[in-house]
Amino acid sequence: MTQPVETRPAAEHVTELILNRAEALNAISTALAESITTACAAVSQGAATDVVVITSASEKAFSVGADLKERAGFSDDQLGRQRPVLRAAFAAVRELPMPVIAVVEGYALGGGCELALAADVIIAGADATFGLPETSVGLVPGGGGTQALPRRVGPARAAELIFTGRRVPADEAGRIGLADRVVPAGTARAAALELAASIASNSPLAVRAAKKALRDGADRPWSEALEVEDRAWRAAAFSADRREGIAAFVEKRRPEWVR
């Protein structure tokens, strides 16, 4: 039986999570959400992964958002029961301790856009289309979109995009910071794996500490944010990785990080 999310090694210390409902353009069903949560838990608990790359088995879409066909038959009670399942999936991606790169080719709409926003870096093919169209169907973005989008593009631009629900082509997404890098269509995965390999060559402890500082320090007062950074600095500075990194630099060799 095909799994809604497939997990496989993509390179040394890089794990690829593949959204595998290509026939439904990765519409986020209850089963897909549960599979995302399970896959993230497995990766987080393992010791072999320093970077996660999220891709799609579909050439047409990263994900078109919530599975509205599944929801069409839901009662209010069923919709309410599904809500924590979906929230857990987005949280699982956001809370991965290692860097996460989302690879967007084709559509990333609604929850699909929010799933990409849960990553640390978004690499988009030139044919990518982003959008949070929830208000057009009587909903509010519920996978973190109202919080993540303003942090990327600013509150006024996020308000315009969420209130209108309009679609954002890749070139505009790159200009406004919704996507971090736009590459020729069909090459986003290769670009993401190259970036992942570059990240994975660094100290996994330091990279995780840096991610924690970036996430935990965001939107805090400056003095509090610097304390967050100091804790991250100390976690790395007094570690075996720091000693190995300095030794490797002096000896002009590749470091052998503790894993």
Could you report the per-residue pLDDT of 21-51, keeping only the tens digit for each?
A: 999 999 999 999 999 999 999 999 887 899 9
Structure-block tokens of residue 84: 């924590």
**CATH class belonging to 5-200:** alpha beta
Q: Is the pLDDT of residue 193 over 70?
A: yes
Give me the chain's average pLDDT, please. Answer: 96
Which candidate, 104, 91, 94, places its Cα nearest to that of 19?
Answer: 104
Reduced DSSP (H G I as helix, E B as strand, rest coil) percent helix, strand, coil of the chain, to 5: 50, 20, 30
Indicate the burial class of 6 (C-beta count within 10 angstroms; 0-12, 13-18, 19 or more). Answer: middle
- Determine the pLDDT at residue 1: 63
Q: Which residues are marked as active site?
A: 66, 111, 114, 134
The domain segmentation of the chain, as residue ranges, is 5-200, 204-251
State the CB neighbour count (10 A cutoff) for residue 109: 25
Which candidate, 53, 68, 72, places its Cα nearest to that of 5?
Answer: 53
For residues 241 and 119, what is the distance between their CA atoms, to the nearest angstrom?
25
What is the band of 252 on the pLDDT scale with cuts at 50, 70, 90?
very high
Structure-block tokens of residue 178: 């919704």
Could you report the per-residue pLDDT of 144-177, keeping only the tens digit for each?
A: 999 999 999 999 999 999 999 999 999 999 999 9
CA atoms within 13 A on the CB side of 42: 14
- Determine the pLDDT at residue 145: 97
Give the Å distances, CA to CA, from 83 to 57, 87, 141.
25, 6, 12
Q: Which CATH number fits domain 204-251: 1.10.540, 3.30.70, 2.60.40, 1.10.12?
A: 1.10.12
- Determine the pLDDT at residue 258: 84
What is the band of 2 on the pLDDT scale with cuts at 50, 70, 90?
confident
Q: Is the pTM of this model over 0.85?
A: yes
Could you report the per-residue pLDDT of 64-120, keeping only the tens digit for each?
A: 999 999 999 899 999 999 999 999 999 999 999 999 999 999 999 999 999 999 999
